Structure 1
Amino acid sequence: MAGEGAGRHAGLRNAVILLLVWELVGQLGIVAGGALPPPSDILIRLWQDRADYPRHIGATLWASALGFVIGNVVAIAGGILFAMSPLMLRLFRGINIAAFALPPIAIAPILALTLSGMAPRITLAALGVYFVTMTATVIGISQADSRAQDVIRAYGGTRWKVLRLVQLRSAVPSILAGLRVAAPNAVLGAILAEFGGGGRWGLGTYLLGSLGRAEPDRLWGIGLVATVIAGLSYAGFAVLSHRMLGATKAVTLNTAVPAGQPRPGHVAERIAVALVAITLPFTIWWALIRLSGAPAMIAKTPVDVFTYLFLSPASSTAQAKLLAALGQTLPITFAGMAAGLGFAFLLAIGTKLSPRATQAFMPIALVTQTMPLVALTPLLVLILGRGTSLTLWITISVTFFPAFVTLAQGISLVPRSAEELPRVYGGSRWQELRLVTIPASLPYLFAATRLTVPRALLGVMIAEWLATGRGIGNLLNQSRGYLDYGMIWSVAAVSVILSVVFFQIVVVVERRVLARLGMTTSE
């Protein structure tokens, strides 16, 4: 406890030092000719703009809250269904992974075109919270104490009673941890939808309208307000979790959905389940378009997208544009993901070698994590410009923190007795890490990689959308301006498919590597 207290004090001290240095640098105009204003100027601008914020904040909070409630109700209901029926889990695996891998910036324009009013914001906020809460619910129910379940059954309890009296109660800590992570995602989803178009009020709308002005202090003020809202939503559920659970701690969420029972052994049945899992997302896509009643010129079905890319007279031109944009986006995505994972790995190792130093760094890391990407990007443009360094910085900042939390948990769970074995034979601290700690945490490294794949693509697309004028993010923005609805839907579909494919590649590699090492996988 003394070590944790010292780490918190060090973090607070470092935060104060950072603010003082920031004030000095801002007053002197050292960074990009004043692109980094001092905190005092930002506070003054916040006070001057105080009349603008209530409506913008209110609109964003309203959409975030509705999306949060709707998304989590669906997520918890789905999690219960998937935990109780492994067959349904396998059938909906494609939808669940697609929801996780969906880059919000890719579908924000589509939602603005096909829905009206607050619906795009609510929908994107709900999508942002679904996967993490659903996964937390499945894990919590699946990991309930089997002995307590046997007691209920021994006294004649039904499956419903086992679920109600044991499994749901056991899942409460996991669900609360999921809600804690999901709350900032709802805020980010609402702001991204505001960026996609539609609506007069909202922090995303306010930020978008302020981009063309030479007022960095206003941009920083909007970004910090968005960060405070996201951070408070996270902290609120952290406090709720602490009050309800006391000393129970949940560091992170398992990013894989555990299988409740062995897969069916019959080859034909397995193939049928796999085909349904693949086709179901496209079927739901088609059904939603038909039910929405949106004009065919705007709303495109999977068949329409296929026709646009491969059968229409202009398909060759569309393919050339899309391939050229992907050629710009994918290399920087992989580079940023690798850099983010590498930084997270080094930081996680640092938790073993120097826990206090890592805890002191955490306040800075938390700020980069809770500040919404669309608020962070314009601020970084002022400092770094619009080149590759901006895209790399954004990609690293959005990938390293969730990867670090996952890796740090894996390292902390390595048994102490296993780590002490090399020391008995005279091994050094580095040999202990190389021979025991790092190999034992490999499943968490793969879990972190699965987490970073869609986040890396999202970070790159947002940078391209707002700043660099390159890649599929910029193609999406241009297509919206040209009213090229076929390309808008094509970019969205391709970005989701790529994220799902990369996710599955990581899963396949994980299974093979861990199988060779004699380790189990949660996927």
Structure 2
Amino acid sequence: MAGDLRRWLPPVLLLLAWEVAGRLDLVASGALPALSEILSRLWQDRADYPAHVSATLAASGLGFVIGNALAVLAGLIFVLSPVTERLARGVNIAIFTLPPIAIAPILTLTLDGMTPRIVLAALGVYFVTMQATVTGLTQYDSRAADVVRAYGGGRGAVLRLVRVRGAVPAILSGFRVAAPNAVLGAILAEFGGGGRFGLGAYLLGSLGRGEPDRLWGIGLAATLIAGLSYAVFAVISRRMLGASLSLSLNPAGPEAEAGGRMSPLIGLGAVAMPFVLWWVILWVMRVPEMLGKTPWGVFDYLFLAEGAPVARERLLAALAETLPITLAGMAAGLAFAFGLAVAGRLTPTFTRVFLPVAIVTQTMPLVALTPLLVLLLGRGTAVTLWITISVTFFPAYVMIAQGIAQVPRAALELPRAYGASGWRELRLVTLPASLPWLFAAMRLTAPRALLGVMIAEWLATGRGLGNLLNQSRGYLDFGMIWTVAVVSVMLSVALYLAALWIERLVMTRKGIGAME
């Protein structure tokens, strides 16, 4: 009984503090309403929600299924054929780093009906699940694989009986992150692309009314949808973890290492592939030249056209503002995620209290939270860092926590038998065994940090690449829109490769193959 009371006391106190702060207008002059006021407004608007919620659920659900199916299939192909993974690396990172705020209006103008929402939701889930699948399949128990081979099993048997089974928790951890991403992708498409129904469209129509209780109600509806989907896969993952956990600490080195370093020809193909795919998609869909800029169109806009010098000057000025805060936000988001994962291992109660707050930060639309954050923190660096950490930390936290949870029990029994403290066991065994997951989290954080900064610049600060993108949308300057998208992808690829270089350096020193 006392244990149940301690478990529920922190969230109850948090809700009470929210109610008091909202009733007394203690936070940002009423921008944070009391929870009872939000729930009351939800009840008043109850007739509006079924059509909007069903539209968002349909788009995000289809995007979730399609994106994750492609991600798991791609992960299998990349593990079995490292050359394919290297060729597709540029495309994979480009998919992950394309700014949704840039492509939402383009998708709306080139695709019909619900398709833009489904596409954006699928793009939002693909990279996270693909990366989780690759991580899970490469970190299998080599002793179990040796047993299968000793009984005459070939590569297919090892894949089916050992690697796929061992990768199930990792794939489910990807699904956990993907579920809120799918909801947010659909809402961003609704918000940026118009349409009558959907929570994003409802939010857009409510922004100018000065009714924070309605905005928070819409945000809580989105939070509930994404939170329930996260909870479903969290429960499934927890149940599957015990059946898939390795018995001993003997992970196999990633097979990608056997393929050697990337040859210049493959590297050239990886760089060229996104540009070829970009041109092919525009050609197949017959997108008008004014709207859909080809790679040559972007080059012409930036270097050959009459206004190219002005365009370059604007781009470089925006880039100089965005890049430093991106590096700071990436480091802060990863450090925050690491600290939360460690705190959750040492103090499980902390995770139970904090996790609902973390899910809210991931699923509450930023367009609803931004006015509050601006009132609290102003329009400077602080609000950009806050939004960037909010965007980056959760996928990294889930990935690191999953790696910590998958450390075999047998590996933990030795330090515990000698009376090691929880922190000493964590430092000597758990964290070294979780290094592949930590670096996978770093690779996820690196491109996402730039996206977070651009969202903050677009919604709050009025500076940098995000603001340049927003201005270009208003002026219908599609050349600059595509230019900013291309530059953001190139920056994200550079950050991703830097994270991969650090991983290789550390893993090589420790005698473990770095994951490709």
Q: Does 1:200 align with 2:199?
A: no
**1:46 counterpart (21, 34, 42):** 42
Amino acid at match of 1:490: T
Q: Which residue of 2 aligns with 1:364?
A: 357
Q: Does 1:64 align with 2:60?
A: yes
- Find the residue that maps to 1:296 and give its secondary structure: coil
* 1:148-206 deviation per Cα after TM superposition (whole angstroms, max 9, x unaligned): 6537855xx8x767766765555444433332332221111111112222322211121
**C-alpha deviation, 1:86, in angstroms:** 2.5
Distance 1:283 1:259, change over 3 A: farther
Q: Does 1:484 align with 2:477?
A: yes
Equivalent residues in 2 for 1:108-123 (5 A)? 108-123=104-119
- Find the residue that maps to 1:212 and give its secondary structure: helix
- Find the residue that maps to 2:30 and give its secondary structure: coil
**2:310 counterpart (288, 310, 317):** 317
- State the alpha-carbon separation in 2 of the partners of residues 288 and 447 from structure 1: 30
Distance 1:175 1:433, change over 3 A: closer
Equivalent residues in 2 for 1:264-275 (5 A)? 264=259, 270-275=263-268
**1:302 counterpart (295, 303, 328):** 295
Report the TM-score when normalising by structure 1.
0.85
Q: Which residue of 2 aligns with 1:497?
A: 490
- State the alpha-carbon separation in 1 of the partners of residues 180 and 253 from structure 2: 25
Q: Does 1:100 align with 2:92?
A: no
Q: Which residue of 2 aligns with 1:15?
A: 11
Amino acid at match of 1:19: L
Distance 1:178 1:92, change over 3 A: same
More off after superposition, 13-22 vs 138-147: 138-147
**C-alpha deviation, 1:279, in angstroms:** 0.9
- State the alpha-carbon separation in 2 of the partners of residues 434 and 238 from structure 1: 26
Q: Which residue of 2 aligns with 1:468?
A: 461
- State the alpha-carbon separation in 1 of the partners of residues 110 and 425 from structure 2: 56
Equivalent residues in 2 for 1:207-356 (5 A)? 207-241=203-237, 245=240, 247-248=242-243, 259-264=254-259, 270-351=263-344, 354-356=347-349
| Contact in 2 for aligned 1:76/1:134 (Cα 8 Å) | yes
Q: Which residue of 2 aligns with 1:73?
A: 69
Distance 1:473 1:9, change over 3 A: farther
Distance 1:10 1:96, change over 3 A: farther
Distance 1:53 1:387, change over 3 A: farther
- State the alpha-carbon separation in 2 of the partners of residues 202 and 247 from structure 1: 39
Aligned length in residues: 504
- Find the residue that maps to 1:211 and give its secondary structure: helix
- State the alpha-carbon separation in 2 of the partners of residues 67 and 372 from structure 1: 18
| Contact in 1 for aligned 2:145/2:162 (Cα 8 Å) | no
Q: Which residue of 1 aligns with 2:248?
A: none
Gaps of 5+ in 1: 251-256
* 1:84-135 deviation per Cα after TM superposition (whole angstroms, max 9, x unaligned): 3232222212222322333323322332233232221111111112123333
**C-alpha deviation, 1:248, in angstroms:** 4.1
CA RMSD of aligned residues (A): 3.4
More off after superposition, 328-337 vs 470-479: 328-337
**C-alpha deviation, 1:74, in angstroms:** 1.9
**C-alpha deviation, 1:294, in angstroms:** 1.0
**C-alpha deviation, 1:283, in angstroms:** 0.7
| Paired-residue identity, % | 62
Distance 1:12 1:375, change over 3 A: farther
Q: Which residue of 2 aligns with 1:86?
A: 82
Equivalent residues in 2 for 1:354-393 (5 A)? 354-381=347-374, 383-393=376-386
- State the alpha-carbon separation in 2 of the partners of residues 342 and 135 from structure 1: 20
Q: Which residue of 2 aligns with 1:254?
A: none
Q: Does 1:186 align with 2:177?
A: no
Q: Which residue of 1 aligns with 2:149?
A: 150
Amino acid at match of 1:135: Q
Q: Which residue of 1 aligns with 2:249?
A: none
Distance 1:261 1:488, change over 3 A: closer
Equivalent residues in 2 for 1:134-173 (5 A)? 134-142=130-138, 143=140, 145-147=144-146, 149-150=148-149, 153=152, 168=164, 171-173=167-169
**C-alpha deviation, 1:17, in angstroms:** 0.7
- Find the residue that maps to 2:293 and give its secondary structure: coil
Q: Does 1:25 align with 2:24?
A: no
**C-alpha deviation, 1:12, in angstroms:** 2.8
More off after superposition, 109-118 vs 428-437: 428-437
**C-alpha deviation, 1:11, in angstroms:** 4.7
Amino acid at match of 1:21: A
Amino acid at match of 1:322: L
Distance 1:459 1:138, change over 3 A: closer
Amino acid at match of 2:306: P
- State the alpha-carbon separation in 1 of the partners of residues 422 and 76 from structure 2: 44
Amino acid at match of 1:112: T
- State the alpha-carbon separation in 2 of the partners of residues 430 and 202 from structure 1: 47
Distance 1:210 1:26, change over 3 A: same
Amino acid at match of 1:28: L
Amino acid at match of 1:500: V
* 1:342-396 deviation per Cα after TM superposition (whole angstroms, max 9, x unaligned): 3334334434554434543333223223334444334434544433322221112
Amino acid at match of 1:150: R
- State the alpha-carbon separation in 1 of the partners of residues 216 and 165 from structure 2: 43
* 1:285-339 deviation per Cα after TM superposition (whole angstroms, max 9, x unaligned): 1100111111011001111111111121111111111111122222222222222
**C-alpha deviation, 1:503, in angstroms:** 0.8
* 1:252-296 deviation per Cα after TM superposition (whole angstroms, max 9, x unaligned): xxxxx985354546x8x8221221111111111110011111101
Q: Which residue of 2 aligns with 1:521?
A: 514
| Contact in 2 for aligned 1:192/1:374 (Cα 8 Å) | no
- State the alpha-carbon separation in 1 of the partners of residues 146 and 131 from structure 2: 23
Gaps of 5+ in 2: 246-251
- State the alpha-carbon separation in 2 of the partners of residues 161 and 435 from structure 1: 34
Q: Does 1:176 align with 2:172?
A: yes
Distance 1:175 1:352, change over 3 A: closer
- Find the residue that maps to 2:28 and give its secondary structure: coil
| Contact in 2 for aligned 1:80/1:138 (Cα 8 Å) | yes
**C-alpha deviation, 1:46, in angstroms:** 0.8
Q: Does 1:128 align with 2:121?
A: no
